[in-house]
Amino acid sequence: MKRTLLHDLTLVTGNETFRGDIIICGDRIEKIIRTNENGLATPAGTEMPLDEVEKVFLEQHPDAEVIRLTGLLAFAGGIDAHVHFREPGMTAKADIGSESKAALLGGVTSFIDMPNVNPPTTTAERLYAKLALASGRSWANFGFHIGATADNAEEIAKIPSEDFGGIKIFMGSSTGNMLLDDDGALSSFFRTTRKEILVHSEDERTIRRNMEAAIEKYGEDIPFRLHAEIRSRQACIKSTVKALELAMSLGTRLHVLHLSTAEEAEMIRAAKRINPKITAETSANYLWFSSEDYDRLGSRIKCNPSVKGAGDRAALRAALKSGVIDTIGSDHAPHLATEKARPYLQAPSGLPSIRQTLSVLLSVAEEEDIPLTRIAEAFSENTARIFGIRERGVLKEGCFADIVTVDPHKEYVVKNDDCGYRCGWTPYEDMKLKGTVEHVFINGEMKVKDGKLTDDIPSGRRLRFEA
């Protein structure tokens, strides 16, 4: 079986950061070798100089490969549990092949796709059809969430737990129009499900009232800066209160998606004390942009929930640092540039961003003095734990060798042409980010070297989920 030595890098886990080496054997991490404070490696408890590690390794495994990575960071490959790859039904915008390739180039080695496609993933038949679509075409390891409707709880209950990630509930409408705002059906899911419930948390009635008021005032010519008032903080807070109250009273496994307000972060902090099975996600977009950017970027940062104020952005960064926010999901949601060029009422919501996620996190971490251990937790480890993804998301002996190396000091300017998204654009264009993805290993194979793909063969595998 092929072996590879990743030599002299800095490993970052949720618990610690340390210098060392990683030995990959086949598709697994066979051994992690630490380098002590004196600069000596300690394989099998025996101290030796770093250059001796390489020599001994090649003596033992003469056909192996050594990759010297001095100065680079190693994280477990990212697990993004919130993507919209638009297949089936919207493949002019994106598909599993195009977007998983961009994900891999950004250090994301596993993803879980959302159900609001066409037709929506709300039945067992459609779930298995999507799994078949991804097989042999996905560059990253793949899984899918299933969507809740007013009448599909019994069907979802019959699907084996290992076959899907969680149950997505849209408490506010968004792309795909899978709104579920019936209190009875909502309570039933919270009461009976054995899986993680994921909520898009916005109050639909509040949004409709705000929209009517905006149309009355501006007609068809609504400024994009009004998006944060139409999809308002009150809409988010009201809906999140309902979801948290249900989860706290019923003990539900609840994952609140794409937090966008300071108030919700504090509500999550308090709710976790009552029900520790409550977790929360935000996206890099809410950590980077603010409502001050609408006049400059317009529809390019129109997403649901809306990007809020600079104070909310600061509060979300603090919540990431403190651990209130558990995971980062890109909410990668491509639309064609021609669609986004339409006036407010016709321009769809959603941002393509998955390739920028890790760089945004590293840039924010430097600005806010967030420990890299927190980035490791939010980028992969917590997501694997919450969704029961087996043997992935952590740098640990015996786990799958899904690994990303990063140059933490290298800066780059984002360009649309370099992103690899089928839609051809990103709101991060011309922005300077810090931290470049250098290598990506997936299932033990090096698929990215020096930031470029090593071949044109997708090798993602199907994810399995523990209940």
CB atoms within 10 A of CB 270: 12
Burial class (CB within 10 angstroms; exposed 0-12, middle 13-18, buried 19+) of 275? middle
Q: Is 114 in the same domain as 41?
A: no
**What's the pLDDT score for residue 1?**
87
Q: Is 186 in the same domain as 286?
A: yes
Q: Which of 172, 88, 74, 99 is nearest to 128 (CA)?
A: 88
Q: Are 451 and 129 in contact (CB under 8 A)?
A: no
Q: Which of 330, 424, 316 is nearest to 78 (CA)?
A: 330
What's the angle, vertex CA 255, arms to CA 107 and CA 433, rounded to 5?
30
Q: Domain of 40?
A: 3-71
Q: Is 233 in the same domain as 275?
A: yes
What CATH number should be reported for the domain holding residue 41? 2.30.40
**What's the pLDDT score for residue 178?**
67
Q: Is residue 433 part of a domain?
A: no
**What's the pLDDT score for residue 38?**
77
What is the residue type of 274? I
Burial class (CB within 10 angstroms; exposed 0-12, middle 13-18, buried 19+) of 221? exposed
Q: Is 21 in the same domain as 148?
A: no
**What is the largest distance, in Å, between two alpha-carbon atoms of the chain?**
77
Q: Is 47 in the same domain as 79?
A: no
**What's the pLDDT score for residue 58?**
87
Q: Are 100 and 404 in contact (CB under 8 A)?
A: no
Residues marked active site are found at: 331
**What's the pLDDT score for residue 180?**
77
What CATH number should be reported for the domain holding residue 160? 3.20.20.140
Domain boundary among the residues 358, 387, 416 is at 387
Q: Is residue 50 part of a domain?
A: yes
Residue 277 CA to residue 271 CA, distance in Å, equals: 9
**What's the pLDDT score for residue 183?**
79
Q: Are 86 and 133 in contact (CB under 8 A)?
A: no
Domain boundary among the residues 54, 71, 88 is at 71
Domain boundary among the residues 71, 87, 117 is at 71
Low-confidence ranges of the chain (pLDDT < 70): 44-45, 172-178, 467
